[in-house]
Amino acid sequence: MATAGLRERKKQQTRQEIFEASQRLFAKHGFEAVTVAAIARAADVSAMTVFNYFPTKEDLFYAGMQFFEERLVQAVRDRTHGESALKAFRRRVLEGAENLAVKQRIDAILTAGRAMASSPSLRAREREIVDEFTRGLAEVLAEETRSSPDDVEPLLAAAILMAAHRALVAHTRARVAAGRRGAELVEDFRKQGRRAFGRLERGLGDYAIRA
């Protein structure tokens, strides 16, 4: 068990090092100009190792987004008894607001925005990721509510929750591009989040409360 734990930590470390190397290169040279071979050299691994962790360069670009989406689904899966899916989802979305006051986070948003504006493949991959995690969230909700796999209700609930999250992301990207920074940006994010999820509360507030 100790050996397996060490192996898993090593894999996570390698994954993180590849991700961080790719982000540095994307920020410096732009997404299209960076090759997987260059990322492998920067992370001191082989190109095959990069592909083992990230099947495409687009997956590398969006690794941070996928980490967060995974945590969103996990927050719903691991929520406490008596808590609705909406409340658990909202808590996880809003608790990271303070990160928007960090310069590195703003730089990452600006870099990503520029790359996405000039890359149809990145915009397409982002839509695919949102769709993948929406289906994953729907599966969690369907299982907990004992719904049929083809039931529309859990898929609709998951799609609505994800839509609120992605609307907040789009809003924040626009605010950052317009020059909003610091505490003002953090408070704007929280205000918009409270309004968005408050609106959903009236429709989903009593849905999927853990028994």
Nearest CA to 18 out of 34, 6, 5 is that of 34
pLDDT at 185: 96
Domain-by-domain residue ranges, the chain?
1-55, 62-204
Classify burial at 54, counting beta carbons within 10 Å of its beta carbon; exposed 0-12, middle 13-18, buried 19 or more. Answer: buried
**Which residues, other chains included, contact 76 with Cβ-Cβ below 8 Å and sequence gap of 6+?**
85, 88, 89, 137, 140, 141
What does pTM read for this prediction? 0.86
More confident residue, 187 or 118: 187
Phi and psi at residue 127, in whole multiples of 5°?
-60, -40
pLDDT at 27: 87
| Residues recorded for the chain | 211
Q: At what angle do helices 152-177 and 85-94 cross, to 10 degrees?
A: 20
- Is the pLDDT score of 54 beyond 90? yes
Q: Which strand (E) or helix (H) includes residue 189? A: helix 182-204
**What is the CATH code for 1-55?**
1.10.10.60
pLDDT digits (tens, 9 = 90+) for 178-208: 999 999 999 999 999 999 999 998 877 777 7
pLDDT at 2: 60
* Whether CATH 3.10.20 fits 62-204: no
